[in-house]
Amino acid sequence: RIAYVNGRYVPLATAQVRAEDRGFLFGDGVYEVVHLHRGRFVDEEKHLNRLTRSLGELRLAWPVGRRALEGIIREVVERNRLHDNALVYIQVTRGAGKREHYFPKAGTRSTLVVFARALPAFPRDVDAWATSIITGPDQRWDRCDIKTVNLLPNILAKQAAKEAGAFEMAQVDADGMVTECASSNIWIVDAAGQLRTRALGHEILPGCTRAALSELLSAENLTLSETAFSLEELRAAREVFITSATSFVRPITRVDDDSVQDGTVGPVTRKLFAAFTRHVQGGLPN
């Protein structure tokens, strides 16, 4: 497998950045994960817009121009012969310099790493795609809207989920309200039948899948209420699903020890999974 590292295409297994890289020392960097479906990037523009925003919020410099990055992404995909389902990982850090917290001296180059790997085929069977989550305290920081490589609380949450036999952990804030999951956004159809997901803000990552799905709702005659819901509302929900670049629309049929209603995938989730499937296929019918 071939990776791009600071201007060069190198074997991923032996690709290197400097030991003084601030991504390694401090987690001082940002990233993106883009899904490639049958050779097409899904919501690429949304991902690059979010990268631009993440870089700006942390006052990180673009390592190369946006057009150049688009070319690098394609070159990595091409060199790895990834013509079907794949994910592309893009990371930018504040570069290497003397280890001190202050930003490095002017002129220090950002580090850019891009690699890719094949993904299993896009799921066809929504019932088989269903999974479970646990819930736990949101232990992250106040700027979860920035996609930084600082992911310790997310790692601990995902590991706890795995050890409990679940896929994800819904993060519950100090007020008992659900923010999102450790690596995905979370949606419910509440007890009154209303589709809900938390409004954008510093508490959640503005998911590109969340944004893409939101744009598909009116064609499905669905309305979205962007309002926070509590852990109790999550437990009482008619339907629960999560979204991310690698989970797509993923039904949740179990929350902690209880099944969501009768434990089968509900009609709204089913409809949105189908709509998102058409979206990743470029609008083609199934």
For ligand PLP, which residue of 148, 184, 197, 269 counts as binding (CB under 6 A)?
184
Q: Which is nearer to ligand PLP, 28 or 95 (CB)?
A: 28
Nearer to ligand PLP, 30 or 208 (CB): 208
User: Which region among 53-61, 97-105, 176-184, 255-263 touches ligand PLP (by CB under 6 A)?
Assistant: 176-184
277 binds ligand PLP (CB under 6 A): no
Q: Which of 21, 180, 233, 239 binds ligand PLP (CB under 6 A)?
A: 180
User: Residue 67's closest CA among 86, 89, 45?
Assistant: 45
Q: Is 138 in the site for ligand PLP (CB under 6 A)?
A: no
Single out the catalytic residue among 147, 158, 162, 271.
147
137-165 per-residue burial string, b: 16 or more CB within 10 A, e: under 16: ebebeeebbbbbebbebbeebbeebeeee
Shortest CB 123 distance to ligand PLP, Å = 16
- CA gap 61, 259 in Å, rounded: 46
The residue type of 197 is T
Q: Between 33 and 236, name the residue whose CB sits nearer to ligand PLP.
A: 33
Does the annotation mark 98 as catalytic? no
Which parts of 80-119 interact with ligand PLP (CB under 6 A)?
none
Q: Which is nearer to ligand PLP, 21 or 203 (CB)?
A: 203
Min dist CB 184 to ligand PLP, Å, is 5
Binding site for ligand PLP (CB under 6 A): 33, 180, 183-185, 205, 207-210, 243-245
